[in-house]
Chains A and B, each alone.
Chain A
Amino acid sequence: MVGTEAYVTLSAVLFTIGAVGVLTRRSAIMIFLCVELMLNAANLALVAYAYQWAGTGLLTGISGQTAVFIILAVAAAEVAIGLGILVAIFRNRASTDVDALSEVRL
């Protein structure tokens, strides 16, 4: 059985790949996709630790999985809204280029 560190390492790698993707991609959809990747990486880490802590007691172990469950629900809602916003923007500009959407100036 592989130790928890391996799973956490994998989670870290996936997370950073997702982060780099967020910064590198220019289309809003692609950025969104990478955010989903990051979320999943976090889920993996949680489940791995849930497994690790299950040895000490039920509540600790099962709480990790419950958290992932909730995160999944949140992610679903978030995707719905996010894609809705994207569609609305695309209607206005016919482009999803993030750099062109640079009106967030302080």
Chain B
Amino acid sequence: MVTFAILASVAVIGALGVVLLRQPIHAALSLVGTLLTLAVLFVTLQAHFLAAIQVIVYGGAIMVLFLFVIMLLNIEHERKEVQPWLRWAAYGVGLVAATGLIVGAMLDPRQAPDHAVVRDTLQGGHPRLIAEVLYGEFMLAFQLVGVLLLTGMVGAVALVQRPRPQRTSAMIDERRKERASDALEAGGR
């Protein structure tokens, strides 16, 4: 109970940080904090494998990517709002959404399962069990994810390519002239 309270508070504070912090680096680091907290929460929910994956993939790969881009592009902090009403509208919608979801969750009290039973069943989210389901029941989904990752790789590479200059005949002539003048200069010296 206490564990959960502490962990939940940390997660929420981290989330608020993402939203409210000015500097992008600060916000990204705040998100990392939240993600790690979430990983711990996974552990309490008998999903040890998932927690590990969360840390490795999210924290180790995705956030690193984010930080690289932020630093590379030298993103500054934002300027003034153009539409102030949007902020308040967003808060309003958010409040409604949160209340609604919480109410929805509360309205459906379930019998908390027996911890021992769950531990035996899930075995801490053992990789073997996940693999059995993934390669069995969800085989199609697994293959599709593979395709998706391939597409992502190709797309990412294609997106960051610098456009190659077109080699028109005019440019080839110009290039030859440059090389000739360079050779002349070099030969002259």
- Asked whether the complex places CB atoms of A and B closer than 8 A, the reply is yes
- Mark A57-69 against chain B: 1 for CB-CB distance below 8 A, else 0: 1110111011011
Q: List 11 A-B contacts (CB under 8 A).
A: A2-B4, A5-B106, A9-B102, A20-B93, A29-B66, A30-B78, A48-B45, A54-B121, A80-B153, A81-B155, A86-B69
- Residues of chain A within 8 A (CB-CB) of B114 are 55
The smallest C-beta distance from A48 to any residue of chain B, in angstroms, reads 6
Interface size on A, residues (CB 8 A): 73
Say yes or no for A101: interface residue by CB 8 A criterion.
no
Query: Once bound together, how far apart are the Cα atoms of A37 and B14, in whole Å?
Result: 10
A40:B160 contact, CB within 8 angstroms: no
Contacts A54-B121, A61-B118, A69-B134 known; A17 to B19 CB distance under 8 Å?
yes
Contacts A20-B91, A29-B24 known; A47 to B42 CB distance under 8 Å?
yes
Contacts A16-B98, A36-B31 known; A79 to B50 CB distance under 8 Å?
no
Smallest CB-CB separation from B145: which chain A residue? A73
Quick one: which of B28, B69, B91, B130 contacts A65, CB cutoff 8 A? B130
- Residues of chain A within 8 A (CB-CB) of B54 are 43, 72
Quick one: which of B47, B81, B129, B134 contacts A47, CB cutoff 8 A? B47
Is the interface on chain B under 10, 10 to 19, 20 to 34, or 35 or more residues?
A: 35 or more
B19:A24 contact, CB within 8 angstroms: yes
- Residues of chain A within 8 A (CB-CB) of B148 are 73-74, 77
The smallest C-beta distance from B175 to any residue of chain A, in angstroms, reads 25
9 A-B pairs with the lowest CB-CB distances in the bound complex, closest first: A55-B113, A77-B152, A84-B159, A12-B101, A23-B90, A21-B19, A20-B94, A16-B98, A8-B105
- Residues of chain A within 8 A (CB-CB) of B47 are 47, 50-51, 65, 68
B156:A84 contact, CB within 8 angstroms: yes
B50:A17 contact, CB within 8 angstroms: no
B42:A62 contact, CB within 8 angstroms: no
**Residues of chain A in range 1-53 having any CB-CB distance to chain B below 8 Å:** 1-10, 12-21, 23-27, 29-30, 32-34, 36-37, 40, 43-44, 47-48, 50-52
B149:A73 contact, CB within 8 angstroms: yes
Contacts A37-B31, A40-B58, A66-B134 known; A47 to B50 CB distance under 8 Å?
yes
Contacts A16-B94, A44-B38 known; A84 to B160 CB distance under 8 Å?
yes
Quick one: which of A14, A19, A69 contacts B130, CB cutoff 8 A? A69
Query: Once bound together, how far apart are the Cα atoms of A12 and B108, in whole Å?
Result: 15
